């Protein structure tokens, strides 16, 4: 058997007044997702466990068959893995934004969308002046860089704050804090991070990249801001856990990081943008190639979520319809060539209600099509039909993955 999971990031939504109180799924023309729903089985999946923030890393980790409660250690290590930064067991990796602080307030979490080229120059000077002895800066994409701390003298038992959550707030209120003020290693780690934030300002404020930005009226990258630090997830590989080899296809670092942590092969597709203009055809071709070589493919499409964050239902519908036409349709067509040996699941990783313009935590609808369990029960892919579905509410990702792999009654390898 071969298996493919198709993710429409953030597609689940609430009913929307301007759409006659229908949801995005209900208002979109998605004949191909509806085909999966009609000939497959539906249910709801709790991708965001109680007490966890509804991030994409959490939602996708669940769908990959892991438990974010025990397995998720932060964005930092996932992005580091995706960027090819090596992490030993005790290393701690942080997302390290370049941000703008002015008059003591966090004015911009991305330093005016600083370019990758400019950011690289700044990270280089930080590494030269502040790096070494277990402290290392790695360039990433634009403002999204990595800070790695190595050695027994550092702890991951600290609180940090995502800078986008505290815009226009005094930065001093949101500096890293130890979880336990009596934890000496955590206290000393926090001291190091605060020192790096301060020293980054000394090095960055007069850097030529920033002088040039100032001259052109662009926000200056005044400080680094490390957050969501953690150690590499200690998880069994997908192969060990479920007995299958696999690949992950996406445009998003976090998703690649999850895949790499699970031992899936990351497939980078040229022209994959994370927006509705992404290279769908390239992604489908890559998926088909991977299915020849491996058992399982995880194909993630980000653009729908991006449109939900704009709060514009029309843009979100358009992005979802593109997903249906450019991803689901070719997969259904290709399925005919698999001699009843391709199982397909389609689902979002979490809700991103247009009204909220951010993620929310309700269980998401899913549909699983197994050609050996073909049925004909005409229905649309929607939140409501997921709730009414024959598979009911699945409480966690491991149960979902077992269900997905077991639908043909094959032995589950674990
Ligand atoms: Zn997401």
Q: Domains (ranges, CATH) in the chain? A: 2-72+235-406 (3.40.720.10), 79-230 (no CATH)
- Decide if 58 contacts 52 (C-beta within 8 A): yes
Answer for the pair 155, 186: CB distance below 8 angstroms, yes or no. Answer: yes
Coarse DSSP helix, strand, coil percentages of the chain, rounded to the nearest 5 percent: 40, 20, 40
Q: How far is the CA of 130 from the centre of ligand 1 (A)?
A: 34
Which of helix, strand or coil describes residue 58? helix
Kindly give the distance from the C-alpha atom of residue 330 to the centroid of ligand 1, in angstroms, as a whole number. Answer: 23
User: How far, in Å, is the centroid of ligand 1 from the Cα of 308?
Assistant: 10
Whole-Å CA distances, 77 to 17, 81, 164, 229: 40, 6, 19, 7
**Rounded distance from Cα 9 to ligand 1 centre (Å):** 5
List phi, psi (to 5°) of 333.
Answer: -65, -40
Residues 6+ apart with CB under 8 A from 67: 49, 61, 396, 397, 398
Distance in Å, CA 311 to ligand 1 centroid: 15
Q: Distance from the CA of 111 to the center of ligand 1, in angstroms?
A: 23
Q: Which helix (H) or strand (E) holds 250?
A: strand 246-250
Q: How far apart are CA 293 and CA 358, in angstroms?
A: 37
pTM given for the model: 0.91
Ligand 1 center–CA 250 separation, angstroms: 12
Ligand 1 centroid distance, CA of 176 (Å): 26
Beta strands per DSSP E along 77-150: 92-102, 105-108, 135-141, 144-149
Angle CA(277)–CA(281)–CA(282) in degrees, nearest 5? 95
pLDDT per position as a tens digit, 375-414: 999 999 999 999 999 999 999 999 999 999 985 554 444 3
Per-residue pLDDT of the chain (414 residues; tens, 9 = 90+): 999 999 999 999 999 999 999 999 999 999 999 999 999 999 999 999 999 999 999 999 999 999 999 999 999 999 999 999 999 999 999 999 999 999 999 999 999 989 999 999 999 999 999 999 999 999 988 899 999 999 899 999 999 999 988 999 999 999 999 999 999 999 999 999 999 999 999 999 999 999 999 999 999 999 999 999 999 999 999 999 999 999 999 999 999 999 999 999 999 999 998 899 999 999 999 999 999 999 999 999 999 999 999 999 999 999 999 999 999 999 999 999 999 999 999 999 999 999 999 999 999 999 999 999 899 999 999 999 999 999 999 999 999 999 999 855 544 443
Cα of 302 from ligand 1 centre, angstroms: 7
How many angstroms is it from 401 CA to the middle of ligand 1?
Answer: 18
Exposure of 225 in the CB half-sphere (CA atoms within 13 A):
28
CB 137 within 8 A of CB 123: yes
- Return d(Cα 392, Cα 402) in angstroms, integer: 15
| 359/350 Cα distance (integer angstroms) | 7
Instruction: Return the H-helix or E-strand segment holding 298.
Output: strand 296-301
In whole angstroms, give the CA distance from residue 408 to residue 414.
16
The CA-based dihedral angle spanning residues 251, 252, 255, 259, taken in that order and rounded to the nearest 10 degrees: 50
Query: Which is nearest to 205 in space by CA: 102, 345, 285?
Result: 102
pLDDT tens readout for residues 144-182: 999 999 989 999 999 999 998 899 999 999 999 999 999
Please give the distance, rounded to the nearest whole angstrom, from the Cα atom of residue 305 to the centre of ligand 1.
6
Measured CA distances, 47 to 10, 66, 211, 240, 398 (Å): 12, 10, 45, 22, 10
Count the neighbouring beta carbons within 10 Å of the beta carbon of residue 229: 27
Beta bridge partners of 243: none
Nearest to 366 by CA among 51, 46, 139, 1: 46
CA–CA gap between residue 134 and residue 152 (Å, rounded): 10
CA of 63 to the centre of ligand 1 (A): 11
* Ligand 1 center from residue 10 Cα (angstroms): 5
């Amino acid at each position: 058997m071969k298996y493919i999971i198709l993710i429409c990031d953030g597609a689940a939504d609430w009913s929307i007044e301007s759409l006659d109180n229908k949801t995005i799924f209900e208002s979109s023309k998605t004949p191909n997702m509806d085909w999966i729903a009609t000939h497959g089985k539906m249910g709801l999946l709790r991708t965001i466990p109680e007490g966890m923030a509804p991030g994409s890393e959490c939602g996708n980790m669940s769908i990959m068959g892991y438990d974010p409660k025990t397995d998720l250690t932060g964005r930092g290590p996932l992005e580091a893995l995706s960027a090819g930064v090596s992490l030993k067991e005790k290393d701690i990796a942080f997302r390290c934004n370049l941000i703008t602080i002015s008059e003591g307030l966090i004015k911009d979490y991305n330093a005016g969308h600083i370019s990758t080229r400019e950011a690289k120059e700044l990270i280089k000077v930080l590494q030269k002046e502040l790096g070494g002895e277990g402290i290392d800066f790695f360039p990433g994409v634009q403002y999204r860089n990595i800070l790695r701390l190595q050695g027994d003298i550092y702890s991951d038992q600290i609180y940090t704050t995502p800078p986008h959550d505290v815009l226009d707030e005094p930065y001093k209120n949101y500096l890293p804090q130890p979880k336990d003020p009596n934890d000496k290693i955590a206290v000393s780690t926090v001291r190091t991070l605060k020192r790096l934030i301060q020293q980054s300002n000394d090095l960055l404020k007069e850097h030529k990249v920033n002088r040039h930005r100032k001259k052109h009226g662009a926000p200056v990258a005044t400080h680094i801001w490390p957050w969501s630090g953690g150690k590499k997830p200690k998880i069994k590989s997908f192969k060990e856990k479920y007995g299958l080899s696999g690949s992950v296809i996406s445009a998003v670092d976090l998703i690649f990081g999850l895949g790499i942590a699970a031992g899936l092969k990351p497939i980078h597709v040229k022209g994959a943008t994370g927006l509705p203009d992404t290279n769908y055809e390239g992604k489908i071709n890559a998926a088909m190639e991977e299915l020849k070589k491996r058992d399982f493919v995880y194909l993630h499409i980000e653009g729908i979520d991006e449109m939900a964050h704009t709060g514009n239902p029309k843009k979100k519908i358009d992005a979802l319809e593109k997903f249906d036409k450019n991803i689901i349709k070719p997969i259904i067509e290709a399925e005919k060539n698999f001699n009843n040996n391709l199982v397909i699941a389609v689902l979002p990783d979490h809700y991103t209600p247009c009204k909220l313009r951010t993620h929310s935590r309700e269980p998401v609808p899913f549909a699983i099509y197994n050609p050996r369990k073909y049925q004909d029960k005409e229905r649309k892919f929607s939140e409501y039909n997921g709730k009414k579905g024959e598979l009911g509410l699945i409480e966690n990702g491991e149960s979902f993955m077992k269900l997905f792999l077991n639908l043909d009654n094959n032995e589950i390898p674990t």
